[in-house]
Amino acid sequence: MKKHNFSAGPSILESNVIRKASQGVLEINNTALSILEISHRSSEFTQIIEEAKTLTKELLNIGDDYEILFLQGGASLQFYMAALNFSRPNGTAAYIDTGTWSTKAIKESEKIGKTITVASSKDKNYTYIPNNININNNIDYLHFTSNNTIYGTQFHTFHKLSQLAKQNSAKLICDMSSDIFSKQIDVNQFDLIYAGAQKNLGPAGATLVIVKKESLIKNGNLPTYLNYNTHIDKKSMFNTPPVFSIYVSMLTLRWLKSLGGIKSIEQENNKKASLLYNEIDNNPLFVGIVNKEDRSKMNVTFDIRNADHKLKFEKLCLENGINGIYGHRSVGGYRASIYNALKISSVCFLIELMRKLKQII
Amino acid sequence: MKKHNFSAGPSILESNVIRKASQGVLEINNTALSILEISHRSSEFTQIIEEAKTLTKELLNIGDDYEILFLQGGASLQFYMAALNFSRPNGTAAYIDTGTWSTKAIKESEKIGKTITVASSKDKNYTYIPNNININNNIDYLHFTSNNTIYGTQFHTFHKLSQLAKQNSAKLICDMSSDIFSKQIDVNQFDLIYAGAQKNLGPAGATLVIVKKESLIKNGNLPTYLNYNTHIDKKSMFNTPPVFSIYVSMLTLRWLKSLGGIKSIEQENNKKASLLYNEIDNNPLFVGIVNKEDRSKMNVTFDIRNADHKLKFEKLCLENGINGIYGHRSVGGYRASIYNALKISSVCFLIELMRKLKQII
């Protein structure tokens, strides 16, 4: 049975990317060697990682004042690493709290120095993006999560945050784990962007970091692995990088380019989100969970109005190959993650099932 | 052309493991989903990581007082993490310096607290394992690298180090990146063992950690990702683990078990090392680099006596599919890494070429 993979991450990858990845495990570039067993210093891998960096720059229109890094440890290690590299002695770090991931980032910053939350949507279980941001302190940086995978909220513009950071002479840092490469962005607004690969980029195990070189303070006392300058100096080859995850990420970036770049995939993503939210709003059995204007175009959270219909809907999904549709335990309900690689046909199929539910209840 | 992969790491994996890994990228366990796109919380992956842990315990005869973790960041992040978790306030850490990797570990410990080098083979460019170990201080732990991949030296017994640690009421920590699973060991001698996967275990991107639970100090102030207790509490699922690297590691462990366990592979490894060192010692064109009694059974370093023969030997290797035979730039000469998955036939083939060289010079 064909699966429609709505998993929140690790998540769907494009089918040709998967086929090529599988082939690369058998043999890479006619070397009679697997991608898994070649040296990271080999010309084969050097070309792969360089192509991954070049494609990232090309797709997101990034200049040479930024460095592209492929690290390990996921966003969870970046929470600490970002704070460590961007905090000044006796400085203050400012965070916008949009739930789970922001909360975890705040916790790591608090281990380093003074940390303030300048806006939060905690009062309504993170069902909206807070607009009212007050910065009264002198801050080192402003940190936010562009898309909250769990609650299904998303910042649709970075303009205000960028302005706020500028007005406060602060750096702007963003965890873009779950919406990077899904829409056009202006990287120049940021000093640091980080993202776990396992949503729109590749398999779990690689972490993409985009860092503005001149924004970094040189500090040789930081733990070597946790110092962005280490990885900039060594071009992401300070230690053995996650070779396979980077290879598959490169294949995904090639696919994005072949589609016509981020502009094209953004149009597709807009269509998918619009179709699905439209169904949620018009199908009387379902209800959206978050504020309409803050709805994520990557993670669509919704619920069934009548709890009696839950089991029937879930059975329908299961019988029809819908994978990964359950909401996170802290939200409940359902979550359809409609990342880049998920086809519009899968969204339409889910909508069909949502309509079918009306007939069988 | 068939390749004989003597690469130091990432390095050769067993051919059936590679085939199964390639298949898993296409589809895992009849799910119609790739191993790359399933949730790390899925039952499929939960079973995989639990099997990997169980096999590790079984193969190395590890009791329940130890926890098996699969982390990210390689040994390079462990250098810092080990020191961070095992250093006491105002304590002293002791290191044995056998070159590059030890040196890097020492550097990270120095960022945390007082660090002393209690033995070193630096005086002879790390061509031997230092025997003369003097510990006069009260130390928190003793750290060493069991096998030096670059120089080709190896500790063949841990008894003395274990005794020394005990006498000093110190913990014993070992970086076993390049010889774990290659021979039988007594894990009970250690409080912490860590190893990058990319030698004897699996693809780059996973780091195996074996930690004695009662040896850890509870310290909630450590950065969350860098605290072993975080990963113990969350069973290696604090954040998204490197799913694919763990999957392939599990396949490798299954293969090791099917061979008859570590005892069997140790016998094979002894044969391979013995054959190759025998040729180096008896072929007048070649010379070993390190002290005979400290020779590594994983990384065989050697050189050609007459520099005029180098190009001919290298051409011979290239034409016959020998991969990854060059020595590390800090040593020069040649290095044949003969990890678990390298067949005895590949060692014999290399020996044939070394003999052939006599005929063509």
Kindly list the residues from chain B whose CB atom is less than 8 angstroms away from the CB atom of residue A69: none
Kindly list the residues from chain A whose CB atom is less than 8 angstroms away from the CB atom of residue B255: none
Task: Of A259, A254, A266, A252, give the one whose Cα is nearest residue A183.
Answer: A266
Per residue in A155-214, pLDDT (tens digit) is: 999 999 999 999 999 999 999 999 999 999 999 999 999 999 999 999 999 999 999 999
| Angle between helices B74-86 and B100-110 in degrees, nearest 10 | 40
- Residue A22 phi, psi (nearest 5): -60, -45
In terms of DSSP H, where are the helices of chain B?
Answer: 15-26, 43-60, 74-86, 100-110, 159-167, 228-233, 243-259, 262-282, 310-319, 344-360
Alpha-carbon gap: B167 to the closest alpha carbon of chain A (Å): 31
Kindly list the residues from chain B whose CB atom is less than 8 angstroms away from the CB atom of residue A39: 7-10, 324
Kindly list the residues from chain A whose CB atom is less than 8 angstroms away from the CB atom of residue B108: 223-224
Say yes or no to pLDDT of A354 above 90: yes
Contact B204 A243 (CB under 8 A): yes
Rounded to whole angstroms, the Cα distance separating B129 from B102 reads 12
Beta-carbon contacts of residue A190 (< 8 Å; ≥ 6 apart): A158, A162, A172, A173, A174, A210, A212
Q: Which two tokens stand for residue A133?
A: 């941001």
Per residue in A287-296, pLDDT (tens digit) is: 999 999 999 9
pLDDT of residue A109: 98
Radius of gyration of chain B (CA): 21
Per residue in A225-259, pLDDT (tens digit) is: 999 999 999 999 999 999 999 999 999 999 999 99
Task: Of A319, A321, A309, A314, give the one whose Cα is nearest residue A283.
Answer: A309
- For the residues A312-336, what does the mean pLDDT come to? 96
Secondary structure letter of residue A329 according to DSSP = T
- Return the percentage of chain B with pLDDT > 90, whole number: 97
Nearest to A7 among B39, B73, B75 (CB): B39
Q: What residue has token string 């940190």?
A: A143
Q: How many CB atoms lie within 10 A of CB B41?
A: 13
Q: How high does pLDDT run on average in chain B?
A: 97
Q: In chain B, which among 206-235 make CB contacts under 8 A with chain A?
A: 206, 221-226
CB B157 within 8 A of CB B185: no
CB A207 within 8 A of CB A75: yes
Gap between the terminal Cα atoms of chain A: 25
Give, in order, the Cα–Cα distances in Å from A196 to each of A69, A86, A179, A249.
12, 19, 10, 11
Per residue in B155-199, pLDDT (tens digit) is: 999 999 999 999 999 999 999 999 999 999 999 999 999 999 999
The confidence band for B1, taking pLDDT boundaries of 50, 70 and 90, is confident
Rounded to whole angstroms, the Cα distance separating B271 from B342 reads 12
Say yes or no to pLDDT of B220 above 90: no
The confidence band for A1, taking pLDDT boundaries of 50, 70 and 90, is confident
Per residue in B234-275, pLDDT (tens digit) is: 999 999 999 999 999 999 999 999 999 999 999 999 999 999
Which run of H or of E encompasses B337?
A: strand B334-337
Going A212 to A78 to A342 to B25, the CA torsion angle's sign is positive
Alpha-carbon gap: B14 to the closest alpha carbon of chain A (Å): 10
Say yes or no to pLDDT of B28 above 90: yes
Q: Hey, is the C-beta of A107 within 8 angstroms of any chain B C-beta?
A: yes
Nearest to A74 among B10, B13, B239 (CB): B239
- Residue B302 phi, psi (nearest 5): -155, 170
In terms of DSSP H, where are the helices of chain A?
Answer: 15-26, 43-60, 74-86, 100-110, 159-167, 228-233, 243-258, 262-282, 310-319, 344-360
CB A36 within 8 A of CB B10: yes
pLDDT of residue B137: 86
Q: Which two tokens stand for residue B47?
A: 């079973």
CB A191 within 8 A of CB A62: no
The confidence band for B94, taking pLDDT boundaries of 50, 70 and 90, is very high
Task: Of B255, B260, B248, give the one whose Cα is nearest residue B341.
Answer: B255
Say yes or no to pLDDT of B217 above 90: no
Q: What residue has token string 């199964």?
A: B20
pLDDT of residue A242: 98
Pairing of strands B4-5, B322-323: parallel
Q: What is the ipTM of this complex?
A: 0.98
The DSSP string of A74-93 is HHHHHHHHHHHHHPPTT-EE
| β-sheet bridge partners, residue A303 | A287
Residue B260 Ramachandran class (φ > 0 left, ψ -120 to 50 alpha, else beta): left
Rounded to whole angstroms, the Cα distance separating A49 from B71 reads 22
- Residue B67 phi, psi (nearest 5): -115, 140
3-state secondary structure of A215: helix
Contact A36 B202 (CB under 8 A): yes
Per residue in A57-85, pLDDT (tens digit) is: 999 999 999 999 999 999 999 999 999 99
Per residue in B299-314, pLDDT (tens digit) is: 999 999 999 999 999 9
Domains of chain B, start order: 15-259 (3.40.640.10), 261-360 (3.90.1150.10)
Kindly list the residues from chain A whose CB atom is less than 8 angstroms away from the CB atom of residue B37: 5, 7, 10-13, 18
Nearest to A240 among B9, B38, B221 (CB): B9
CB B291 within 8 A of CB B153: yes
Contact B1 A32 (CB under 8 A): yes
Alpha-carbon gap: B108 to the closest alpha carbon of chain A (Å): 6
Rounded to whole angstroms, the Cα distance separating B10 from A4 reads 34
Say yes or no to pLDDT of B230 above 90: yes
Per residue in A96-133, pLDDT (tens digit) is: 999 999 999 999 999 999 999 999 999 999 999 999 99
Per residue in B31-76, pLDDT (tens digit) is: 999 999 999 999 999 999 999 999 999 999 999 999 999 999 999 9
| β-sheet bridge partners, residue B211 | B67, B192
Q: Which two tokens stand for residue A327?
A: 């909401």
Q: Hey, is the C-beta of B29 within 8 angstroms of any chain A C-beta?
A: no
CB B353 within 8 A of CB B36: no
Secondary structure letter of residue B252 according to DSSP = H
Contact A26 B26 (CB under 8 A): no
Catalytic residues of B: 101, 175, 199
In terms of DSSP H, where are the helices of A65-175?
Answer: 74-86, 100-110, 159-167
Provide the CB-side half-sphere exposure for B16 (13 A, CA): 9
Q: How many CB atoms lie within 10 A of CB B270?
A: 13
pTM of the model: 0.98
- Chain A residue with minimum CA distance to B225: A77
Radius of gyration of chain A (CA): 21
Interface test with A, best of B15, B33, B34 (most A CBs within 10 A): B34
- Chain A residue with minimum CA distance to B236: A73
